Chains A and B, each alone.
Chain A
Amino acid sequence: MSILRISHLSLSLGGQQILDGINFNVEEGEVIGVIGPNGSGKTTLFNVLSGFLKPSHGTIHFCDKDITSYSASERARLGIGRVFQNFGIFRDMTLEENVLVALEALPKERRKALGNIKEVVKGTLAMVGLSQFAKRKAGSLSGGQMRLLEIARTLKAEKQLFLLDEPTAGVSPKMTSQIADLISELKREKKTVLIVEHDLPFISKICDRVIVLDVGKIVLTGKPQEVKQSKELQEIYFGANPAD
Chain B
Amino acid sequence: MQLLVNALIAGSLAALIAGGLAVVYGVLGVFNLALGQLALIGGYTTWWLYQVLHLPLGLSIILGLACGALVTWVTFEIAVRPFFKHHRFLPLVTTIAWSMILDGLILLVFEERPRSILPGLKHIYEFSGIRISLEQGLLILATLVILLSFAYVFHRTSLGRRIRAVVQHEHAALSLGVPAGLLHGFLFVLSGVFAAAGGIFIGIDQSLTPTLAFPLTIKAYAAIIAGGKGNLWGAILFAYVIALLEQLLVGVHWFGAFYVPAGYQQTVALLFIIVILLIKPAGFFGNSSRTA
Residues of A within 8 A of B (CB): 50-52, 71-73, 76-77, 80-82, 84, 88-93, 97, 100-102, 104-107, 150, 153-154, 157
Contact = CB atoms under 8 A, between A and B. Distances in A.
A9 B168 CA distance: 31
Interface in B152-204: 158, 161-162, 164-165, 168-169, 171-181
B291 interface: yes
Contact of B175 (A82, A90, A104, A107): A82
Given A72-B175, A73-B174, A101-B173, 17 more contacts: A52-B174, A81-B176, A88-B169, A88-B175, A89-B169, A90-B172, A91-B169, A92-B168, A93-B168, A97-B161, A100-B158, A101-B162, A101-B176, A102-B176, A106-B177, A150-B172, A157-B177
Interface residues of B, number: 20
B290 interface: yes
B161 A92 contact: no
A76 B175 contact: yes
Contacts of A154: 176
Contacts of A105: 162, 173, 176-178
Given A97-B161, A101-B162, A105-B177, A84 B172 contact: yes
Contacts of B174: 50-52, 71-73, 76
Given A97-B161, A101-B161, A105-B178, A89 B172 contact: yes
A71 B175 CA distance: 10
Give 4 closest A-B pairs by Cβ, nearest first: A88-B172, A76-B177, A105-B177, A82-B175
A72 B290 CA distance: 27
A153 B175 CA distance: 11
B265 to A, nearest CB: 35
A150 B291 CA distance: 20
Contact of B177 (A52, A77, A88, A93): A77
Contacts of A88: 169, 171-172, 175
A150 B173 CA distance: 12
Contacts of A73: 174, 177-181
A88 B172 CA distance: 5
Nearest to A150: B172
A202 to B, nearest CB: 22
Contact of B158 (A72, A76, A92, A104): A104
A104 B162 contact: yes
A89 B174 CA distance: 12
A93 B165 contact: yes
A106 B164 CA distance: 17
8 contacts: A91-B168, A91-B169, A93-B161, A93-B164, A97-B161, A101-B162, A101-B178, A157-B177
Contacts of A81: 175-176
A32 B168 CA distance: 30
Of B164, B168, B176, chain A has the most CB atoms within 10 Å of the CB of: B176
A100 B161 CA distance: 8
Given A76-B175, A84-B171, A105-B177, A90 B162 contact: no
Contacts of B172: 82, 84, 88-90, 150
Interface string B252-292: 00000000000000000000000000000000000000110
Nearest to A88: B172
Nearest to B231: A92
Contact of B164 (A52, A71, A82, A92): A92
Contacts of B162: 101, 104-105
A157 B176 contact: yes
B155 to A, nearest CB: 9
A84 B176 CA distance: 12
B270 to A, nearest CB: 30
B177 A92 contact: no
A92 B161 CA distance: 11
B176 to A, nearest CB: 5
Given A73-B178, A88-B169, A104 B161 contact: yes
B168 A52 contact: no
A107 B292 CA distance: 26
Of A89, A101, A102, A106, chain B has the most CB atoms within 10 Å of the CB of: A101
B160 to A, nearest CB: 10
Contacts of A102: 176
Nearest to B183: A73
Nearest to A51: B174
Nearest to B182: A73
B228 to A, nearest CB: 12
Nearest to A81: B175
